[in-house]
Chain A
């Protein structure tokens, strides 16, 4: 495949990811659809899609937080501050509805602030899916909450969400998730096929684009990439972990890749976490969504699973990927991540896996300090390899 063909295949994803909300506004302006935002992580976008609306996973944008500080303290995480700031400046008024999930105290607080700030025309809901997976009746509770959210969406759309439509949406989302897995598997085999920056862009575009169009473009890209011969490894294979509910800044991804390493795999939210699991396609579709939400295959510290499961999972994933080290990206003030970090640190040390923890912020202050640390880490890996 020529570079030009790859560039052509990537162009629509790059355009959508560079200005995510412009993409959404364009869809809305075309009169095709209402748009409903949802906060990241567990929310089943299929429910919004099945109501004939465009689901949009809220994105962290590049603007510095300014007017938002009239509503939020500076010691809240970046995505919270950014969402509140956008709302304060009218930047989220185009949504017809917004659904937040109670994934952590900051996310819930963002929902409360947005409810307070946004115009009444943007209708809001809070989905409270179970946070303790070992509790009795957790499946029934999830189903009840999904039913409640389904009612909210139906009300917004002015029409019922039929089971058949929901089943079709699940199939479409499963297809897209399957394509993303194929694409990431190709990159694990040969990371040179697609940089982590572009992998990030492809995933993020899928959070805002009309999903049918996205699926077609994704299928095209996967086919093109499959035609590429695996390339010879040129740098240290690394695993990228972290950022539970937002994508890392692309500047930072560039910085990491700029040291010559090859990112073979990840467990980022805007990476494997987003498309790791499908929903079942047989049986009642709402129950399938509930089972997907409760699936414990990919540990998430925002829900209690009776153990700090992410640390062991991370070690296993790094070993499976063939990476020689890991970079842990932690969004500053992200408590779910900060509480697990000591356990990760211990597990990685015990497994003999070198790692570098980098704390990231919404406003990228200075990349130079980070570059020095990255270079030192990579040099250490190089020496170890010798």
Chain B
């Protein structure tokens, strides 16, 4: 790009999350060393339910995204590819399968690497909780379970093909959670601690509500924080939920955001365009993309991954009804609806945050997050009259990212927004 490279104003409070995440993973290692059984899981609710059983949970996406954001994901993918995994498979799954092989001692890590986060305690149980009942999560779980010789449990929301499905799908998900709790009782050999689960759900409600308030404050112009801050801020409502310091961190973040609003400070120094991001964050390019958008005076204000997942309905969390609260937040979310439903959710986001354009990031190895791209571009575009572009990318495999392509398309997007503004003024 010809533009001058500009740095975004990252939230200072966000910078503390990385250290907290690492500490939480090290704590799992310590718990395992003390003889605790360990659960490995993808997806969110497995945490909450397993924490009620007093079991530490290694969250796949949390660990892998954290490593990828630091450019440290490659050894995991090499371990999976040596096993025969092809790069077209979900890169989260591939990386976690690599982690399983390393944990089992089936893959020799390069001795020059710091093994701290690559060598995790092997699981006693695997839980797959795909956000949209994605079948790839099942394959991922069965693969890790087979490598590690442990059982896998699949907690999968059924898809809402139309409105008539919703009531049954909700009940079905509660039934599945009860079956999972039965399995946790078998694994721990003790009755499930419902009081602890209610306590955990109380923490979740607090964290999710705070995070929601922070995101809502970004409706302000200029936006005090960006999608990239919010992507890094998933940990506190996920892996860090209920741990000491998490609510305090979110409180600090909210204060920082409020302070920025009071001082008129934006996440992007000269915010001229407000954008929506679709798809999972391209974690290995978190910093690169943050600078790229800032250089275009564009702030990515909202995204489906940050705003429509990870317990998006704080208002439906009732700590005294934990299973129903989880079901509400899993079964009815945008990605689990047909295209019309997804367009509705995204139109609402765009209106709320004053979005000028859509950036549809192709998370190339995640088919769950890509089916709706064109329907959203078309549907949201028709209803709100805003342009959209696709850019290449992937959650944790940077081979699918192209810098030059991204530059060209983002440039085209802001020029289109600019041209439409001029046309409106005429």
List residues of chain A with CB under 8 Å of any chain B CB: 70-73, 75-76, 102-106, 108-109, 111-113, 115-116, 125-126, 128, 131-132, 135-137, 141, 301-302, 304, 306-308, 332-333, 335-336, 338-343, 345-346, 359
Given the interface pairs A125-B161, A131-B156, A302-B135, the reply to whether A338 lies near B85 with Cβ below 8 Å is yes
Closest CB in chain B relative to A314 CB, distance in Å:
14
Q: Mark B125-168, 1 if CB is under 8 A from A, else 0.
A: 00000001111101111110010000110101011010000000
Question: Across the interface, which residues of B come within 8 angstroms of A341, CB to CB?
Answer: 84-86
- Say whether A131 contacts B135, CB under 8 Å: yes
User: What residue of chain A has the Cβ atom nearest to residue B137's Cβ?
Assistant: A105
Given the complex of chains A and B, what is the CA–CA distance between A137 and B83 in angstroms?
A: 35
- Say whether A105 contacts B135, CB under 8 Å: yes
Q: Mark B355-393, 1 if CB is under 8 A from A, else 0.
A: 000000010110110111111000000000000000000
User: What residue of chain A has the Cβ atom nearest to residue B342's Cβ?
Assistant: A112
B88 located at the interface, meaning its Cβ lies under 8 Å from any Cβ of chain A in the complex: yes
Question: Across the interface, which residues of A come within 8 angstroms of B305, CB to CB?
Answer: none
Given the complex of chains A and B, what is the CA–CA distance between A297 and B361 in angstroms?
A: 41
- Say whether B142 contacts A338, CB under 8 Å: no
Given the complex of chains A and B, what is the CA–CA distance between A19 and B176 in angstroms?
A: 45
User: What residue of chain B has the Cβ atom nearest to residue A144's Cβ?
Assistant: B168
Question: Across the interface, which residues of A come within 8 angstroms of B90, CB to CB?
Answer: 335
Question: Across the interface, which residues of B come within 8 angstroms of A75, CB to CB?
Answer: 88, 362, 364-365, 367, 370
Question: Across the interface, which residues of A come within 8 angstroms of B107, CB to CB?
Answer: none
Using A75-B88, A109-B367, A109-B371 as known contacts, list a sample of 5 further A-B pairs with CB atoms less than 8 Å apart, ordered by residue number in A: A70-B374, A113-B371, A113-B375, A136-B179, A340-B139
Given the complex of chains A and B, what is the CA–CA distance between A342 and B152 in angstroms?
A: 18
User: What residue of chain A has the Cβ atom nearest to residue B364's Cβ?
Assistant: A75
- Say whether B88 contacts A332, CB under 8 Å: yes
Question: Across the interface, which residues of B come within 8 angstroms of A308, CB to CB?
Answer: 142-143, 146
B399 located at the interface, meaning its Cβ lies under 8 Å from any Cβ of chain A in the complex: no
- Say whether A73 contacts B88, CB under 8 Å: no
A/B interface sample: 9 pairs, CB < 8 A: A71-B374, A71-B375, A73-B362, A73-B364, A103-B135, A105-B136, A105-B367, A109-B370, A304-B138
- Name the contact of A112 in the complex, choosing from B93, B134, B158, B339 (C-beta under 8 A): B339
List residues of chain B with CB under 8 Å of any chain A CB: 83-86, 88-90, 93, 132-136, 138-143, 146, 151-152, 154, 156, 158-159, 161, 172, 175-176, 179, 338-339, 362, 364-365, 367-368, 370-375
- Say whether A335 contacts B159, CB under 8 Å: no
- Say whether B338 contacts A76, CB under 8 Å: no
User: What residue of chain B has the Cβ atom nearest to residue A113's Cβ?
Assistant: B371
Given the interface pairs A113-B371, A333-B88, A339-B140, the reply to whether A104 lies near B135 with Cβ below 8 Å is yes
User: What residue of chain B has the Cβ atom nearest to residue A108's Cβ?
Assistant: B159
User: What residue of chain B has the Cβ atom nearest to residue A359's Cβ?
Assistant: B86
- Say whether A137 contacts B175, CB under 8 Å: yes
Given the complex of chains A and B, what is the CA–CA distance between A332 and B141 in angstroms?
A: 21
The list of the 5 closest CB pairs from A to B, nearest first, reads A342-B84, A109-B371, A339-B139, A126-B161, A104-B135
Question: Across the interface, which residues of A come within 8 angstroms of B143, CB to CB?
Answer: 308, 339, 342-343
- Say whether B339 contacts A115, CB under 8 Å: yes
Given the interface pairs A125-B161, A135-B176, the reply to whether A338 lies near B89 with Cβ below 8 Å is yes
Q: Which of B136, B159, B161 has the most CB of A within 10 A?
A: B161
Question: Across the interface, which residues of B come within 8 angstroms of A108, CB to CB?
Answer: 135, 159, 371
User: What residue of chain A has the Cβ atom nearest to residue B340's Cβ?
Assistant: A116
Q: Which of B134, B142, B364 has the most CB of A within 10 A?
A: B142
Given the complex of chains A and B, what is the CA–CA distance between A382 and B189 in angstroms?
A: 57
Given the interface pairs A104-B135, A131-B135, A308-B146, the reply to whether A338 lies near B373 with Cβ below 8 Å is no
Closest CB in chain B relative to A195 CB, distance in Å:
30
Closest CB in chain B relative to A302 CB, distance in Å:
6
Question: Across the interface, which residues of A come within 8 angstroms of B372, CB to CB?
Answer: 112
Closest CB in chain B relative to A39 CB, distance in Å:
13
- Say whether B151 contacts A306, CB under 8 Å: yes
- Say whether B159 contacts A126, CB under 8 Å: yes
Given the complex of chains A and B, what is the CA–CA distance between A383 and B83 in angstroms?
A: 28
Closest CB in chain B relative to A2 CB, distance in Å:
47
- Say whether B134 contacts A116, CB under 8 Å: no
Closest CB in chain A relative to B373 CB, distance in Å:
7
Question: Across the interface, which residues of A come within 8 angstroms of B151, CB to CB?
Answer: 306
- Say whether A102 contacts B159, CB under 8 Å: yes
User: What residue of chain A has the Cβ atom nearest to residue B161's Cβ?
Assistant: A126
User: What residue of chain B has the Cβ atom nearest to residue A342's Cβ?
Assistant: B84
Question: Across the interface, which residues of B come within 8 angstroms of A345, CB to CB?
Answer: 84
Q: Which of A116, A126, A346 has the most CB of B within 10 A?
A: A116
Question: Across the interface, which residues of B come within 8 angstroms of A125, CB to CB?
Answer: 161
Closest CB in chain A relative to B124 CB, distance in Å:
16
Given the complex of chains A and B, what is the CA–CA distance between A302 and B154 in angstroms?
A: 13
- Say whether A73 contacts B373, CB under 8 Å: yes
Given the complex of chains A and B, what is the CA–CA distance between A282 and B199 in angstroms?
A: 53
User: What residue of chain A has the Cβ atom nearest to residue B101's Cβ?
Assistant: A342
Given the complex of chains A and B, what is the CA–CA distance between A304 and B161 in angstroms?
A: 22
Question: Across the interface, which residues of B come within 8 angstroms of A359, CB to CB?
Answer: 86
Given the complex of chains A and B, what is the CA–CA distance between A125 and B136 in angstroms?
A: 22
Given the complex of chains A and B, what is the CA–CA distance between A111 and B88 in angstroms?
A: 22
Given the complex of chains A and B, what is the CA–CA distance between A103 and B85 in angstroms?
A: 21
- Say whether A135 contacts B85, CB under 8 Å: no
- Name the contact of B152 in the complex, choosing from A116, A141, A306, A340 (C-beta under 8 A): A306
Given the complex of chains A and B, what is the CA–CA distance between A359 and B89 in angstroms?
A: 14
Closest CB in chain B relative to A125 CB, distance in Å:
7
Given the complex of chains A and B, what is the CA–CA distance between A302 and B368 in angstroms?
A: 15
Question: Across the interface, which residues of A come within 8 angstroms of B84, CB to CB?
Answer: 341-342, 345-346
- Name the contact of B139 in the complex, choosing from A72, A102, A115, A336 (C-beta under 8 A): A336
Given the complex of chains A and B, what is the CA–CA distance between A115 and B172 in angstroms?
A: 24
Question: Across the interface, which residues of A come within 8 angstroms of B370, CB to CB?
Answer: 73, 75-76, 109
Given the complex of chains A and B, what is the CA–CA distance between A136 and B154 in angstroms?
A: 12
Question: Across the interface, which residues of B come within 8 angstroms of A72, CB to CB?
Answer: 371, 374
Q: Which of B84, B134, B135, B143 has the most CB of A within 10 A?
A: B135
